[in-house]
Amino acid sequence: MRRPILAGNWKMNTCRESAGSLAAAIAEQVPASRDDVEVIVCPPAVYLDSVLSAASGSGLQVGGQNASDQDPGAFTGETACTMLTDLGCSHVILGHSERRQFYGECDGVVNSKTKKALASGLKAIVCVGELLEQREAGETQAVLESQMTGSLADLSADDMTSVVIAYEPVWAIGTGKVATNEQAEEAHVCLRTWLEGRFNSDVAAATRILYGGSVKPDNAAGLLSQANVDGALVGGASLKPELFIPIIDAGAATVA
């Protein structure tokens, strides 16, 4: 049984006050004893500390949205993975399509960051997903396999206990164009099959694969009830408790 993960990617949003109050509202829904689902929020780096304070004592986990593949040193503007663990973060999102698209991150960079995150004690949420033109050209499976091969290069089956995959079709991110339940399930099956071939059937059965891209309260139940969809990585709807909490509830309903 794969425990669902509902993760909020706040992107470059919120301010000090709203980050704290948003985290507090979500933390209220996630007591330390909650064991049906895992809930994670990933605020902007500068607000991590206040979000961690708001989440303190609850079961709400906190992650970074990106991190460096380098150890601490002369890397202006970067955040080391060990700095995230030092603060108390449990996770880091790596290879989000906005990082790939706007900051030129290729699979090789995502791979070095993933290795550094795992070595620092973080769990990595590694994002993959095809562009609209790639889907229309029938290249979805090839693109996903190539991103997985590059992003997870050199990792062992043991390393995979600290890796979560997020399937985020780029055409569905922030566009309101959600993948259909069938499109999501088909991509997740493709990713799970790849995991089995590259690692083994235990890794394929245990790895959580999240769907991301315009997840909202009204489509969450359908997506999350797909056999191979183990949670959601939520952007816009994670910024409002009245939208994110029903998505948490939809995840919990799949294990009830």
Using CB atoms within 10 Å of the CB of residue 153, give its burial: 0 to 12 exposed, 13 to 18 middle, 19+ buried: middle
Q: What is the DSSP string of 82-126?
A: HHHHHHT--EEEES-HHHHHHS---HHHHHHHHHHHHHTTPEEEE
Q: How far is the CB of 95 from ligand PGA (least distance, A)?
A: 11
Stretch that binds ligand PGA, among 52-60, 61-69, 232-240, 246-254 (CB under 6 A): 232-240
Stretch that binds ligand PGA, among 47-55, 79-87, 209-217, 220-228 (CB under 6 A): 209-217
By CB under 6 A, tell whether 20 contacts ligand PGA: no
Distance CA 214, CA 217 (A): 10
Q: Is 96 a catalytic residue?
A: yes
Single out the residue of 182, 184, 185, 189 nearest to residue 171, CA to CA: 184
> Considering only residues 146-185, where is the footprint of ligand PGA by CB under 6 A?
168, 173-174
By CB under 6 A, tell whether 214 contacts ligand PGA: yes
Tell me how many residues contact ligand PGA (CB under 6 A). 13
Q: Is 105 a catalytic residue?
A: no
By CB under 6 A, tell whether 64 contacts ligand PGA: no
Q: Catalytic residue among 96, 98, 185, 188, which?
A: 96
> Considering only residues 85-144, where is the footprint of ligand PGA by CB under 6 A?
none
Distance CA 193, CA 206 (A): 12
3-class SS of residue 63: strand
* Residues facing 123 on adjacent strands: 91
Q: How far is the CB of 166 from ligand PGA (least distance, A)?
A: 7
Question: So which residues are the catalytic ones?
Answer: 96, 168
**Chain residues in the site for ligand PGA (CB under 6 A):** 9, 168, 173-174, 212-215, 233-237
